[in-house]
Each structure stands twice: as structure tokens, then as C-alpha cells.
Amino acid sequence: MEDMKQKSEWTDALRNRMKGAQMEPPAGGWARLEKELGATGMRRERAVPWKRVATWTAAVAAVLAVVFFAVPDKGVQEFRSSDDSNSKGVAFRLSDFFFRLQTDRLQTSDECSADESVAGLLSVSLKSVSLKSKKDSLKSEVCQSKKDSLGVCKSDSLSATPPGNPATPASSPFRPDHWLADAAQSSPGSGRGKSRGRITLGIPGGGTGGGTTSVMPGALALMNGNYYYSSRPMAAPPAKGPSFASNPYATIGNYVFNHRPELSVGLSISYEPIERLVLETGLVWTTLSSQVITPANTREQRVQYLGLPLYAGWRFAGRGALSLTLSAGTTVERCLGARLGTWRQDERPWQFAVGGQMTVGYGLGHHVSLAFQPGLSYHLTETRLTTSRTGHPWAPSFRLTLQYTL
């Protein structure tokens, strides 16, 4: 009815006049168009501007390389095989990753796995230290005649027998991940920690503010400058290796972690090389916050990260200033600091994650928009501390970003 009311004879007449209306196009319009279409006849604007994409990719890769390799990391350690005449490899640990460079033949044995039989090749393996050391340990038990060619165990300062762990083979040197894995096995909700040989305790649900709760029976111990939890009380610290820290939380009892949702704020730059395809990067500041309840008191744990996300997405909808984009990508995070109450904690310097997110953008201007980005990330690197990511590699996140569109 409203439509009928708003149509009138004169507008109908106007529409009829406009139907076949023509106006002089600009002089030189075709010449300009032809130039842009290119000599090959391909539409330049439609094609992906590979040169620009390559430039951006190279720039981001360069920044990542500088951050990853040039920033001094006290965790860097180098190991050189020396006890195995057949192995002339070089191995080193950088941050949480284990690199192995083999320039000569490794000992080949029928009993050993193919992984060990890399012959005459230069190979580089990228593995988590904890996973690697666990693997090496198993191999050392299977391949009795062969020592650990990389000497990782011997370089580790923790070589004492774990407390209350008689099952540990005498021939297998004790490493913290054994002890921690043992702790994880005896705790509920610790699937991920078990597989990684690292403690990850957590019972999802029941948290405050939409977070998760982890109940941790046992004790907090200091090892190698890092704090770990054991599922079983330790009567006394071993002579060499784990020892109690002189902190108020190193007591026997249950620890309850109420994890809050992961919140991030950041600045990002997005670019559309072709229509609707959105590439995004930037800097994101993330806080993992948990309430830690001990039998004695309650403290706040905060872990902060500065992250560099690299996402590619598809802008599938838009209305007015609002736009919706689905994207996936990876995020590299550098730990800025971790505190439990006023007590400073040690956390792994780097975190890697892949994930997906939905971006709800609201345009504030021609180039600037405010983006709310709820997402789900899979964290490839486990946190050393108990956080909302521990034991739950798939973690939801909520990010608020000020976005600049190129």
C-alpha cells in the first residue's frame, strides 16, 4: 500500500524517460580503460596483485624472523652429540622447539625406528622439547645398544630419580617431563598433558565468569627455575632436582583454578587483494586471568602476551557500516609476563596457535573500523603455568581490535 501511495504519474513518466536515457561518456574513457585492462586483455583489477601480496608476505616473514631469531632468549641451549661415533649431528633447542641438524650418517639399526635411520641427508626436525625428550627416552629403552645420540638427557640438569616413582627404569635418566607425566596420569582431565609428557590438569566447567576450573591436588615444586605441580605429595625434595620453592603456595593440598575467558585488545591492518578476500595482521595484547584458590588463600594469576596474528578470511556479508568476515590463520605470541599475586612466575616465551574467528566490523570512517572478533584457537604450545589454555588446547577468545583497512 505504501508503495502504491508513493508512485505517481509524473514519477512514472520520469522513469520512462530515464529508461533509454543516454549521456556523453568522458572523452578518452576507453583509452583509460584499455590501459588498465592491459595489452593481454586480462582485467588487471580482478587479478590477485601478487607483487603486493608477495611484498607483504616477505615483510611479515622478515618481522617474524627478526622477532623469533634475533630476540635474545635465555632458554636457548645447544647440544652436540659427542658420545656416539656414528652420529655427527648438531642439535639445539630454541625456545620450546627442538632443532636437529644432521650432516652425517646416523647409526642404522634394524631395531630402531626409521626416524633414526636418516642416512646421508641433511635433516631439520622441529619438535617440542618435551615431546622430543620423551621420545628419546623411549628409544633409549628400546635401542639398548645405542645411546641417546643427541645427548639431551645428559645436558639436562635434572637427573635425579623422581620422588615416589619406582617404576622409572634405572637405565632411563630422569627428566622433569617423566615426573610431570606421572603426575598428569593420576589426575582427571589431563589428556593433553599425558601425551605431551607435561602436566596439564583441569576439570572443565564450574568456573566463574564463563571460564573453566581446574582442581589440582598435590604440591607445587620448583625445578630448574620453573614451577610444576605434582599429583602426589613429596615427603622431601630429592637431593638433586625438584625442590620446594620458598613461596606461599608450595604447600601440600588442593589448588583450584578458576579461569576467566581469554580477552584481547589490539590494532590490526587489513587488506583486500581481491574483492571480499581479507588479509589481516597486527598486534594483539592478551591477558589470561585465573583465580587461584589454595587452602590458605586466594590469589590472582595473570599471564600477558603480545601476539602477531596472521589471518586470511572471507567477507561474506555487510550491511551499512557493519561487515561480517570469517577467517582462519595463525598467531604467534610472546609472553610479556606472568604473576601469581605479587609473585613473578616463569612462563614459556613463545606460544603458537592456529584458529578461526568471526569478525564483526563496524566502520568508524573510510579506513578505520572497530572489530569484535570472537574465535576459537588451538594452542600448539602448552603453557607452562596452569591457565585457561592448559589441558584445553581449543580455547575460545574474545578480541576487540581497532582495524585499519588499506
Partner 1 sequence: MSEQTLVEECRKGNNAARAELYRAYSPRLMAVCRRYASGGEQAEDWLHDAFLKIFGQLDRFRWQGEGSLIVWMERVARSVAIDSLRQRRTIDFVRPDEAGNELADVPEPTEDDIGRIDEESLIRLIGELPEGYRVVFNLYCIDGCSHNEIARLLGIKAKSSASQLHRAKALLAAKVRQWTSIMDNG
Residue number, 121 or 322, with CB nearest to partner 1 = 322
**Smallest separation, CB 23 to partner 1 (Å):** 4
The piece of 57-65, 84-92, 158-166, 317-325 that touches partner 1 (CB under 8 A) is: 317-325
61: left (phi over 0), alpha (psi -120 to 50) or beta: alpha
Q: Per rule CB under 8 A, is residue 240 in the interface with partner 1?
A: no
Q: Which helix (H) or strand (E) is 131 found in, with range?
A: helix 129-142
Q: CA-CA-CA-CA torsion for 111, 116, 120, 126, nearest 10 degrees?
A: 170
Residue number, 188 or 318, with CB nearest to partner 1 = 318
**Smallest separation, CB 365 to partner 1 (Å):** 7
Residue number, 61 or 406, with CB nearest to partner 1 = 406
CA angle 158, 160, 90 (to 5 degrees): 40
According to CB under 8 A, which one of 4, 25, 70, 246 is a site residue for partner 1?
Answer: 25
Q: Per rule CB under 8 A, is residue 316 in the interface with partner 1?
A: no
Are 351 and 381 in contact by the 8 Å Cβ rule? The answer is: yes
**216/214 Cα distance (integer angstroms):** 6
Q: Per rule CB under 8 A, is residue 272 in the interface with partner 1?
A: no
Are 90 and 103 in contact by the 8 Å Cβ rule? The answer is: yes
Which of positions 37-96 make contact with partner 1 (CB under 8 A)? 37, 40-43, 45-46
Residue number, 21 or 239, with CB nearest to partner 1 = 21
Which of positions 340-369 make contact with partner 1 (CB under 8 A)? 363, 365-366
According to CB under 8 A, which one of 64, 71, 119, 321 is a site residue for partner 1?
Answer: 321
- Report residue 102 as a C-alpha cell: 644432521
Are 392 and 202 in contact by the 8 Å Cβ rule? The answer is: yes
Q: Per rule CB under 8 A, is residue 22 in the interface with partner 1?
A: yes
**Smallest separation, CB 266 to partner 1 (Å):** 22
According to CB under 8 A, which one of 1, 4, 9, 145 is a site residue for partner 1?
Answer: 9
For 225, residues 6+ apart whose C-beta sits below 8 A from its C-beta are: 346
According to CB under 8 A, which one of 64, 66, 126, 322 is a site residue for partner 1?
Answer: 322
- Report residue 149 as a C-alpha cell: 645420540
The piece of 18-26, 149-157, 220-228, 328-336 that touches partner 1 (CB under 8 A) is: 18-26
**309/284 Cα distance (integer angstroms):** 7
The piece of 9-17, 98-106, 177-185, 220-228 that touches partner 1 (CB under 8 A) is: 9-17
Q: Position of cell 564450574?
A: 206
Q: Per rule CB under 8 A, is residue 319 in the interface with partner 1?
A: yes
Q: Per rule CB under 8 A, is residue 171 in the interface with partner 1?
A: no
| Number of residues in contact with partner 1 under rule CB under 8 A | 42
124: left (phi over 0), alpha (psi -120 to 50) or beta: beta
**Smallest separation, CB 13 to partner 1 (Å):** 4
Residue number, 35 or 80, with CB nearest to partner 1 = 35
Considering all CA atoms of the chain, what is the largest pairwise distance in Å, rounded to the nearest integer? 100
- SS3 call for 298: strand
Residue number, 43 or 80, with CB nearest to partner 1 = 43
Q: Per rule CB under 8 A, is residue 406 in the interface with partner 1?
A: no
Report the Cα 246 to chain-centroid distance in Å: 31
**255/390 Cα distance (integer angstroms):** 14
Are 397 and 285 in contact by the 8 Å Cβ rule? The answer is: no
CA angle 78, 83, 86 (to 5 degrees): 100
**Smallest separation, CB 109 to partner 1 (Å):** 60
Q: Per rule CB under 8 A, is residue 276 in the interface with partner 1?
A: no
**5/15 Cα distance (integer angstroms):** 16
**Smallest separation, CB 312 to partner 1 (Å):** 21
Q: Per rule CB under 8 A, is residue 4 in the interface with partner 1?
A: no
**250/218 Cα distance (integer angstroms):** 9
Q: Applying CB under 8 A, which residues contact partner 1? A: 2-3, 6-15, 17-18, 20-26, 29-30, 32-34, 36-37, 40-43, 45-46, 318-322, 363, 365-366
